[in-house]
Amino acid sequence: MAEDREYPEPYVGFIGKYQQEEPSADEYQVEAQDELLMHNYTTLPDNCKKYWRKRYQLFSKFDEGVYMTSELWYSVTPESVAIFTAKLFKALLPEARQVLDICCGGGGNSIQFAEIFESVGAVDINEINEQCTRHNAAIYGVEDKLWSFIGDWNEISCPHDDGSVYMDWIPENLRKNPSNTTFDFIFASPPWGGPSYTKKSQEFDLYSMEPFPLDSFLSQVLQYSRNIGLFLPRNLNLEQISEVTREIFGDEAQCRVITVYNDTHPVGILALFGKDLTRDLDYDEIFGE
């Protein structure tokens, strides 16, 4: 796990560079791993400027020093969607305490889970994303409820040679027995392939989703929790969802599928697996809508 760092105020944030003065022209010419993380419109990469007007939709506290990479500008979950998702899990799992967010990115979902639940684990393969999540969680005042791990999910979810579940990446005080109750629920917003995934003429193939094909990903996650929520592309193949639900959870199992909107625009599909997450729910009573 990356070591904790203090961030001086005011600051200009670079990976490996924390300084109070404005960076020189030469320092702007940095490699990807040294990307400027706290942006204004001038420093924002050209391919991300079109997202600038949505900055407060992504993080309402953006002006307090939120960190985002170029990729996170188009992949972070909008705050209103993350709030809805966290409230939905709370409504369905009112006793839940321990949560895991795989592919945490910039912390959009992790932060809102931490606003509600006692312990939130944030996992990402990208060290910069993990830093953004921890930093942004501090801005929202939930850093004490969040722990993080940098690693490849396909590797850390691989069982030991004797078939036992690999648990070393989980803080020891949070491990439970049996292993499938380690987390009360697990959430993931896996990579979709960038903005180009939305080609209307092309249905998104969940079985070829890289690096997490849906069937193998669900099998991996089931080692740690029986309640799973995935945020998936809105142009997914619903028949594939039905097929994988029966294959992984049994012929009688169901999947709750919810189209999620940001304002009036559909942004993705929330797919929920597990008996607790597919039980009857009065949305009007919970959300007042």
Burial class (CB in 10 A: 0-12, 13-18, 19+), 25: exposed
| 1 assigned to some structural domain | no
Distance from C-alpha of 222 to C-alpha of 247, rounded to nearest angstrom: 13
Token pair 């020189």 in the structure block, residue = 24
Determine, yes or no, domain membership for 269: yes
41 and 110 share one domain: no
Q: What torsion, rounded to 10 degrees, do the Cα atoms 83, 84, 85, 88 define?
A: 120
**pLDDT tens profile 16-68:** 333 334 444 444 333 444 577 888 899 898 989 999 999 999 999 999 999 99
Q: Which of 205, 255, 210, 212 is nearest to 235 (CA)?
A: 205
Let me know whether 55 and 125 are in one domain.
Answer: no
Residue 2 located in a structural domain:
no
Give me the pLDDT at residue 262, please.
86
Number of domains within the chain:
2
The torsion defined by the Cα of 141, 75, 87 and 56, in degrees rounded to 10, comes to 60
Tell me what pLDDT residue 233 has. Answer: 92
Which domain covers residue 40, as residue numbers?
35-73
d(CA 41, CA 62): 13
pLDDT tens string for the chain (289 positions)?
A: 434 433 333 233 333 333 334 444 444 333 444 577 888 899 898 989 999 999 999 999 999 999 999 999 999 999 999 999 999 999 999 999 999 999 999 999 999 999 999 999 999 999 999 999 999 999 999 999 999 999 999 999 999 999 999 999 999 988 875 545 689 999 999 988 655 555 555 788 999 898 999 999 999 999 999 999 999 999 999 999 999 999 999 999 999 999 999 888 899 999 999 999 998 877 665 666 5
* Confidence at residue 30, expressed as pLDDT on a 0 to 100 scale: 38
Predicted local confidence at residue 282, as pLDDT: 74
Domain shared by 178 and 276, yes or no:
yes
- H helices within the chain, ranges in order? 25-28, 55-58, 72-75, 79-92, 108-116, 127-139, 153-156, 214-221, 238-249, 283-287
Per DSSP (E only), the strands in the chain are: 12-14, 17-19, 98-102, 119-124, 146-150, 185-188, 228-232, 255-262, 265-273
Between CA 121 and CA 54 the distance in angstroms is 27
Domain boundary among 73, 100, 121: 73
Residues 60, 95, single domain; the answer is no
Residue that is last in its domain, among 73, 102, 137: 73
What is d(CA 140, CA 111) in angstroms, rounded to the nearest whole number? 7
Dihedral sign for Cα atoms in the order 197, 208, 79, 280: positive
This prediction has a pTM of: 0.84
- CATH number of the domain to which 102 belongs: 3.40.50.150
Q: Are 19 and 39 in contact (CB under 8 A)?
A: no
